[in-house]
Each structure stands twice: as structure tokens, then as C-alpha cells.
Amino acid sequence: MTTILLCDDHVVVRAGLLALLGSEPDIEVLGEAGSGEEAVALAAKLGPDVVLMDLQLGAGIDGVEATRRITALPNPPHVLVLTTYDTDADITRAINAGATGYLLKAERPEDLFAAIHSAAQGHTTLSPPVANRVMAQMRGTRPTLTERELDILGQLARGLGNREIARALFISEATVKTHLGRIYDKLGVDTRAGAVSVAKEQRLLPS
Amino acid sequence: MTTILLCDDHVVVRAGLLALLGSEPDIEVLGEAGSGEEAVALAAKLGPDVVLMDLQLGAGIDGVEATRRITALPNPPHVLVLTTYDTDADITRAINAGATGYLLKAERPEDLFAAIHSAAQGHTTLSPPVANRVMAQMRGTRPTLTERELDILGQLARGLGNREIARALFISEATVKTHLGRIYDKLGVDTRAGAVSVAKEQRLLPS
DNA sequence: CCGCGCATCAGCCGATCGGATGACCCCGGG
DNA sequence: CCCGGGGTCATCCGATCGGCTGATGCGCGG
């Protein structure tokens, strides 16, 4: 028997997961959360084996932050990310935040069940497209940006200036420029517009 | 009684809709499709009152194209778009393709039921955020870029500077800046990076 | 014929960017 | 224990950008 906590801001998705998981005899859904904050609170209170976590959560903290907080709990559950996108940035951020697995919503139900049971035992499961991207990254095909550089890139794509990026990330403008220089270097460009373009094409950023 | 056809590439979403709609006595789900092509075929075969259509369908034709084909059928059903994003481009494309309504997945179930019944009678229903965007669009700003502006945008995405863009398109630097200003205006940004980002997301540029 | 959208061009100016250089701190591994 | 990577910060400066105002020419439709 594996106990589960659901976290997704969409009612239909939660209902879908409930319906799917309800048909599995050895899976029990302890509760559901519509926001990251709620998920953290319920994870602490209910103590499930696995948390199924969406990354896009609308208002409040996002799935990555929720994952970070949940895995920081005493005796934490395993977090299985279940989302729509296989963007590099999302994948690395989720894994760095402590996620045990990364599944796409398009996955077949049987694979979802299998992944949940694997996750309950701490085993990592990645959807095939995700696994491919991770592999490609291993082979050094594409430039590997650090966590922080991806943060900068994200703000950059919002069209923010250096000062605004600095304020958004609580660092100095000088540091932003340092990171930007390295990003340009890794992406082989020398302007912000070029960086955004390459990042979108390499799927380093959601699009 | 209103008969429905579901179209979404995500199993969990379909299951969720089935579960939700199953609890409604005067709604009957005739079938479900996991791709746009399948949805068109099933719509022709089953003749539902309403098709619930997601816009992002993974492989094959997208929801907009599926909507276009379904509304081109003889005695066509009403298409109610049910998606995650309220971006201008998606909304206008869906409506131009013949969609009767445009709902967000985050909508409350009761609103979904109401929208389905409205759609069955040909009435339009828009989620509040969508309605707001449509209104804003009515009031003047329409993001239609001219050919030339798209040319500029293309060079911009290559990371070129104004002087380089000018030389690439055989015009003066001043003209480039004029176009850029108008592009910023239309896209609602004020930097080149922001313009590239929006353009890629709105699919104004190849990605 | 006149208005209007589109494309073209000019000059000005403050704000911002990009590059270069050097520095400090923390942490984990050899 | 020292090295290196990642993150942080500072200063300087020339190049570029973005906003502004204004102007010309062209084609199309009322």
C-alpha cells in the first residue's frame, strides 16, 4: 500500500488523478492540495509516502519551491513531479529541489502507477522524453547553465533590465552582469536578445 | 441532455473530465480523443452536441486546426476550448477557427457545466481572464505585426544590433529603430529581449 | 482628392548594456 | 590543505539602446 498526496492547481487534473488512482487497489490518496503552501502543510500533517507535484501552480509558491520545502521536512515523503513540460530548466530545477522523479502528464496510467510505487521506495523514474534530455545533457551536447544562470535567463526573457533582475533575485547589478557575461559565453551570443532566442530554441526556457 | 466529445492528449485530464462530467445527470460523454485527428473523426461519427477541446495536443494537428476541421463538418457540433493558457494569440486563433467558447482548466466545475450547456445552445462563454483580454483587444491594441516588422523581429532574434539589422535589410539604422519602437508597442514590451521572448511564445517566430 | 497605414529617414540625449579586470567567500574533493 | 567551481561584488568606459519629435513618399480606398 502506497499513500499519496496530490498537488495541482487545476480541479480537473486532481479529479483525474483521483479517478485513476482510485482504481488502483494498493494506492491510497490521503489528500489533495490546490497550492504549494497547502501541499507543504498537508505533507507535514498527513505524512504520505509520495507527493504528486505539478510545477505550475498559479498563485503562490511554485512546484519547485514546494518540492524544496517538502523534502526539507523531517522524515520527508518522496516527491514525484508530474507536469506538462520537459524543459531543461524545469527538469534540473525540480531535481535539484529534491524531486525523486519527473513524469509528464501525457504518460500512460500504468506507467504512472509504476512510477509511484518506484518513488515510494526512493527509486527515480523519468519519462522517456525527460530521460532523453537528461542523457543529451550528460553527453555535453548542449551548454550546461548553472541554476543561478537559469534564474537570470528567466528574468531576462521577461524583458527586465539588469537593475530589475538584480532586485528580483536579491543580488547586486554587478553580479547580474557577471552572470550575463557567462551566459553569453555558454550560449555563443553577445546580446540579451540573442540569449533569449537561443534559450528558447534549446528549450532551456519554457515556451 | 447534452452529449459531449472530449479531446485532450493527457490521460489524467480526460479521466478528470470523465469523473466530473459523470456526476452530472444531464451530460453524457459519447467518447474521448487523444489527438486532433481522432477528435475530428469521432466528431463526424458520433455527432455530439459539444466538443471539449484542448489546444495543446502534442503530436499531430493542434487544437486550433482540429477546431477548424470540426466546425467545417456538415451539421457541426459546438467546440468549447478548454485549455491552460489565456494568451492573446491562442484566444484569437481559437475563436477565428470557430470555437464557441474559451475556458481555462482552472475553472470551477459548476462553471464548466454551465458553459457546456450554454455552448450546446450556441452561446459563447469565456473565462473571466479570457474575457478581459478580449475586451482589452477590442479597445484598440491588436498585436498584428506587419511584414516588415516581422523581418526586423527575425533579425532581432539572431541577436543582431540595430546597425547590423539595418545592413541586413538594406535600410537605415533610423528605420530599424522606428520599427523596433512599434514592435515594442504592439507586443507590450520595452526591450529587445522581451520582444524576442513574446514573439517566440506567440509563435510569431520560428522556434 | 484626401486621409490613413506603411515604410522610410534624421537628430538628440539620457539610460543602459557589454567587456574587461580584479576581488572575496564558501564548499567539496583530491 | 590547497585547488577549483559557483556565487557574489566593484569600477571603468565606450558602444548601443530606447524614447522623442518630426518629416517624406507611396499606395489604397472612401
The pLDDT confidence band at residue A172, using thresholds 50, 70 and 90, is very high
Choice among A121-125, A175-179, B46-50 with the minimum mean pLDDT: A121-125
What pLDDT is recorded for position A167? 92
The pLDDT confidence band at residue B119, using thresholds 50, 70 and 90, is confident
Please list the residue range(s) of chain A that carry CATH number 1.10.10.10.
Answer: 147-201
Contact residues for strand D with beta carbon within 7 Å: A 146-149, 169, 171-175, 177-179, 191; B 161-163, 177-178, 180-181, 184, 190-192
Burial degree of A159 (CB within 10 A; 0-12, 13-18, 19+): buried
The secondary element (H helix, E strand) that includes residue A158 is none
- Backbone angles phi and psi of B177, in degrees to 5: -65, -40
Locus of grid cell 502543510: A41
What pLDDT is recorded for position A78? 87
- Does residue B94 contact residue B63 with C-beta atoms inside 8 Å? yes
pLDDT digits (tens, 9 = 90+) for B20-45: 888 888 899 999 999 999 999 999 99
Number of C-beta neighbours around residue B120 at 10 A: 21
pLDDT digits (tens, 9 = 90+) for A6-48: 999 988 889 888 888 888 888 999 999 999 999 999 999 999 9
Distance (Å) from the alpha carbon of A3 to chain B's nearest alpha carbon: 18
Max mean pLDDT among A45-49, A112-116, A134-138, B74-78 falls in A45-49
What pLDDT is recorded for position A140? 45
What pLDDT is recorded for position B49? 92
A137 pLDDT exceeds 80?
Answer: no
Closest nucleotide over all strands to A173 (CA to C1') = D9
Query: Under CATH, which number does the domain B2-138 receive?
Result: 3.40.50.2300
pLDDT digits (tens, 9 = 90+) for B62-79: 888 888 888 878 788 988
The pLDDT confidence band at residue B100, using thresholds 50, 70 and 90, is confident
Contacts of A157 (CB under 8 A, 6+ apart): A196, A199, A200, A205, B193, B194, B197
Choice among A100-109, B129-138, B195-204 with the minimum mean pLDDT: B129-138
Contacts of B17 (CB under 8 A, 6+ apart): A12, A15, A16, B6, B8, B29, B52, B82
Choice among A167-171, A199-203, B166-170 with the minimum mean pLDDT: A199-203
The alpha carbon dihedral of B206, A104, B62, A62 has a sign of negative
Amino acid code (one letter) for B77:
P
Please list the residue range(s) of chain A that carry CATH number 3.40.50.2300.
Answer: 2-138
Number of C-beta neighbours around residue A21 at 10 A: 21
What pLDDT is recorded for position B137? 47
What does B148-188 look like in DSSP terms, one character per residue? HHHHHHHHHHTT--HHHHHHHHTS-HHHHHHHHHHHHHHHT
Mean pLDDT score, B135-144: 47
CB-CB neighbors (< 8 A) of A19 in chain B: 15-16, 18-19
Q: Which three cell numbers stand for residue A162?
A: 539588469
What does A67-91 look like in DSSP terms, one character per residue? HHHHHTSSSPPEEEEEES---HHHH
Q: Which residue has the higher pLDDT, A100 or A116?
A: A116
Max mean pLDDT among A2-16, A69-83, B111-125 falls in A2-16
Chain A 1-30, residues with CB within 8 Å of chain B CB atoms: 9-20
Cα(A150)–Cα(A137) distance, integer angstroms: 15
Q: Which of B105, B106, B159 sits opposite A193 (nearest CB)?
A: B159
CB-CB neighbors (< 8 A) of B19 in chain A: 15-16, 18-19
The pLDDT confidence band at residue B132, using thresholds 50, 70 and 90, is low
Cα(B55)–Cα(A90) distance, integer angstroms: 22
What pLDDT is recorded for position B131? 56
Half-sphere exposure of B31 (CA within 13 A, CB side): 14
What pLDDT is recorded for position B48? 93
What pLDDT is recorded for position A101? 81
The secondary element (H helix, E strand) that includes residue B135 is helix B128-138
Mean pLDDT score, A157-173: 91
The secondary element (H helix, E strand) that includes residue A3 is strand A2-7
The pLDDT confidence band at residue A193, using thresholds 50, 70 and 90, is very high
Q: C-alpha A131: how far from its chain's center?
A: 14
Chosen from B196, B200, B202 to mutate, greatest number of chain A CBs within 10 A: B196
Contacts of A200 (CB under 8 A, 6+ apart): A157, A207, B196, B197, B200, B207
pTM beyond 0.85: the answer is no
What pLDDT is recorded for position B90? 67
Vertex B57: Cα angle to B35 and B188 (nearest 5): 155
Adjacency order of strands within the sheet including A27-33: A27-33, A2-7, A50-53, A78-83, A101-104
Whole-number mean pLDDT of chain A? 84
CB-CB neighbors (< 8 A) of B195 in chain A: 159, 193
Q: C-alpha B143: how far from its chain's center?
A: 14
The pLDDT confidence band at residue A4, using thresholds 50, 70 and 90, is very high
What pLDDT is recorded for position A129? 66
Mean pLDDT score, B43-57: 91
CATH class belonging to B147-201: mainly alpha
Burial degree of B60 (CB within 10 A; 0-12, 13-18, 19+): middle
Whole-number mean pLDDT of chain B? 82
